[in-house]
Structure 1
């Protein structure tokens, strides 16, 4: 618990009062009372050198606090259920509306019945579709980055739950709009421009999309957990993401073959909007009422002032080497987001052009690529529990192992000549799900509760802006190497993961100079 103002002086005053209030009591009793008070004073003084702790943790018996992960699972299920289908629709409508090829020819793109002619057409269509995808990524960067500037202030002022609900509402509207566009495309034999999908992502972008829900979720977990339990909740949060992606990927290909794209988008929309209703009814607010300040407006300060405030929170001096470690861990998280965003923007096209995979084949691959790290994440809970018995650096050690797993997986993808080698890369990437929860746990342990919203908000904004560079860069690399070796972008990914390994190695060296202080952060 945090000490109240002047708590130390109150303890001293109590000690003095115990010594002089009852002159007829025995000296031994007075001495014992004085010793107890001085011991309390010494304990209070020692807490000033400890890492910041939370002012209040919700009652752990409240089952509502454990519903966050299932809701995140539903959101990521809906996202991945439609993700590959959306990419496929962009390519299909680029073929029909963009280049004017017949509908029956464009439907063969990416199918088992593809001919040499359709493969030639796909090589023409893919660069155009890549531009549409790139613009969608840019919209998903600019608007959420601006809105995300307010996410931390909103979360710290009004609570985590409203922010989470706004994010779900935005995604639900996106898939409703996508379903309408896909249905119109079906009625018009594909003659609907793929650029309409850019408009469908505006609703989630204006509520922060990928910036807001992670800020709300991570702050919620920080509010309702402490100590070692926090790292387990962070792993559970990451597992919810992976399991949601797994279920979405597994069902997507079968649903798309059995129905149509607008049905797939509709299922995603209904799933998210149902989860939104359940959040309103069942999920408690984690931020204590006395910590929420409802006065003023989120926009009562300029964007420049808000940016300065966010930056000062990250850059302000901290005891020991906390500021350096905090910033370094944030850079590692930014690197992993940079690679993930950039690689995802071209990987589906890479698999189609090199191995001629269908939507179903790709979603089956996605299912396995998510299942393996998800199972490893469950094992990671036991792994970290075991590591804590033999090392004081369990969290950072798992983060390093995860980055090594990422790096080796990217190298195998780069050298892959046949498609089964892509599955070997999945095996080497078995621990890739652990780097994000471990880094977030370290950040949460390093900063007090009233700064987490700002820290993760700034981190979310930077991660949202990273595709401006990563998607552009990866698309450029992919386009330039399309006719020679379209998998070269994987070498670049491995290089960036290598930089992350070096940075975490520096953090390890820094914390080793003060093992006692940093043990609660990294163990």
Structure 2
């Protein structure tokens, strides 16, 4: 859930953009034909020219366009408010309904009152709970991935707002169903199978999950902003995600201790459904009717044709090295999503088994782990402004720094021996919130407005499918190293982040062949 600033300047020479050279080999010949004169006029025209492929548009500029970020904040608050509690309920109900242990014993799992017997029971229960969580992730992957095939075309044809509303409705229904399951479990002393929570994912999956809201939100921001303003709106979008996660994590542990899990789920559901109602009433549609794709014949709406359309948009020849750079940046985003999904599927269990943390201790850790990158992300506005004064590749530099931050943080978690070292890992990961918005900024700057929906939809589909592999792989690594070194999965995460750093280094080399053309994309 998450991404950040997408700073983009407007392309310098339109004649150069549409040169006759091979689009995939680079444009050294066109760069030479322009000579040194183009460099001397760049400072004077970069502020007024347009981004690559961005047609002039007139977007709604009412204050209501700034309501998107608060709505995203509410959604992420509700998500994180229930996230850890849901994982805890799955473990608890796996203990009672799955293994038949008494309710009084199972409630001691993950508490400070744990005994040697409860620790043994937890080691027995965790693999079972991990399978339940994995099943939930699989359901949450398959159907949203299918819906995501249509998300880009729907966004370009019907607008961004309907997709946002569908996603919010799905999350609201998920937590309503989860509240009902948790209430029944409370009334029967936990004798409700945790597999029922898989059912709660179905309405969310059918309505698109995070695939639809992320595609719609990024396209919305692209519609109503341009140039540097777009970078700052995307930073604000990322901050809304982090602040929402922060507030949800901060309040979750305290509310759970004072009430019960079904109350926590109910609060999440009410928050999201209230935001949905306000969104329907107040948020304007960002895509003008005249810019929407005309309805296509029914044969063009098949899954196969939509896949072909998205793939051809992604892989078609482009000017200079745009296609290669676009695909490489997409792979970096997929790697970060892969690690995030895989690590999240086992990290809570890792902290319980390694340091015996309670729900409250873990949510307090989550609060700090969200707060630190959020503050760094807000400072990213000043950071990116400062970098633009001294480098022509500010966005790329920030992406590098972010991946290095991710890598060092994962290594610290892997070799942590005491709890305070996990907090050191938070400090090492201070800039981790910047990689997604920086990469999305570069992608947005490389694409014309009418292609962004398809590209981000395809990216969303691939990110939705990645947990099928990542969660399965991470669960397998975790369960097989549970008795010896349960933190090994963090080393694997660091390796994947290191791969992302290498890929960005390749992008750096490619863009260096045509500095003038790519300055507005990476600055």
On whether the aligned pair clears a TM of 0.5, the verdict is yes
Aligned mates of 2:483, 2:136 — CA distance in 1: 25
Superposed CA offset, 1:269-309 (max 9, x none): 00000000111111110001101246357885321121111
Find the counterpart in structure 2 of residue 260 from structure 1. Answer: 260
Find the counterpart in structure 2 of residue 11 from structure 1. Answer: none
Find the counterpart in structure 1 of residue 385 from structure 2. Answer: 385
Equivalent residues of 1:158, 1:294 under 8 A apart: no
Indicate yes or no: 2:239 matched with 1:239: yes
Go from structure 1 to structure 2 and tell me whether the alpha carbon gap of 1:343 and 1:297 turns closer, same or farther (over 3 Å shift): farther
Find the counterpart in structure 2 of residue 134 from structure 1. Answer: 134
Superposed CA offset, 1:161-195 (max 9, x none): 00000000000000000000000001111000000
Go from structure 1 to structure 2 and tell me whether the alpha carbon gap of 1:398 and 1:357 turns closer, same or farther (over 3 Å shift): same
Equivalent residues of 1:345, 1:471 under 8 A apart: yes
Find the counterpart in structure 2 of residue 347 from structure 1. Answer: 347
Find the counterpart in structure 1 of residue 57 from structure 2. Answer: 56
Find the counterpart in structure 2 of residue 225 from structure 1. Answer: 225
Equivalent residues of 2:326, 2:443 under 8 A apart: yes
Aligned mates of 1:200, 1:54 — CA distance in 2: 42
Between the two structures, name the one with larger relative contact order (CA 8 Å, sep ≥ 6). Answer: 2
- SS of residue matched to 1:165: helix
Aligned mates of 2:141, 2:280 — CA distance in 1: 28
- SS of residue matched to 1:150: helix
Superposed CA offset, 1:191-237 (max 9, x none): 00000000001011001101100000000000011111111111111
Aligned mates of 1:59, 1:138 — CA distance in 2: 39
Find the counterpart in structure 1 of residue 442 from structure 2. Answer: 442
- SS of residue matched to 2:100: coil
Equivalent residues of 1:150, 1:298 under 8 A apart: no
Indicate yes or no: 2:179 matched with 1:179: yes
Deviation at 1:378, TM superposition (A): 0.6
- SS of residue matched to 2:118: helix
Aligned mates of 1:375, 1:310 — CA distance in 2: 36
Aligned mates of 2:376, 2:245 — CA distance in 1: 15
Find the counterpart in structure 2 of residue 401 from structure 1. Answer: 401
The number of residues matched between the two structures is: 478
Superposed CA offset, 1:290-345 (max 9, x none): 01246357885321121111100000000010000000000000000000000000
- SS of residue matched to 1:201: helix
Equivalent residues of 2:300, 2:306 under 8 A apart: no
Superposed CA offset, 1:415-447 (max 9, x none): 100010000000000000000001001101110
Equivalent residues of 2:413, 2:421 under 8 A apart: yes
Where do 5+ consecutive residues of structure 1 fail to align? Answer: 3-42
RMSD of aligned residue pairs (Cα, Å): 1.5
Aligned mates of 2:299, 2:77 — CA distance in 1: 33
- SS of residue matched to 1:389: helix
Go from structure 1 to structure 2 and tell me whether the alpha carbon gap of 1:57 and 1:438 turns closer, same or farther (over 3 Å shift): farther
Equivalent residues of 2:401, 2:431 under 8 A apart: yes
Moved over 4 A (4+): 296-300
Find the counterpart in structure 1 of residue 22 from structure 2. Answer: none
Go from structure 1 to structure 2 and tell me whether the alpha carbon gap of 1:172 and 1:504 turns closer, same or farther (over 3 Å shift): same
Aligned mates of 2:361, 2:297 — CA distance in 1: 50
Counterparts of 1:404-443 in structure 2, within 5 Å, are 404-443=404-443
What's the TM-score once normalised by structure 1's chain length?
Answer: 0.90
Bigger-Rg structure (1/2)? 1
Aligned mates of 1:47, 1:377 — CA distance in 2: 28
What's the TM-score once normalised by structure 2's chain length?
Answer: 0.90
- SS of residue matched to 1:136: helix
- SS of residue matched to 1:388: helix
Equivalent residues of 1:350, 1:487 under 8 A apart: yes
Equivalent residues of 2:60, 2:286 under 8 A apart: no
- SS of residue matched to 2:365: helix
Deviation at 1:451, TM superposition (A): 0.5
Aligned mates of 1:277, 1:87 — CA distance in 2: 28
Aligned mates of 1:219, 1:315 — CA distance in 2: 20
Aligned mates of 1:318, 1:136 — CA distance in 2: 39
Superposed CA offset, 1:8-30 (max 9, x none): xxxxxxxxxxxxxxxxxxxxxxx
Counterparts of 1:308-347 in structure 2, within 5 Å, are 308-347=308-347
Go from structure 1 to structure 2 and tell me whether the alpha carbon gap of 1:128 and 1:298 turns closer, same or farther (over 3 Å shift): farther
Deviation at 1:518, TM superposition (A): 0.7
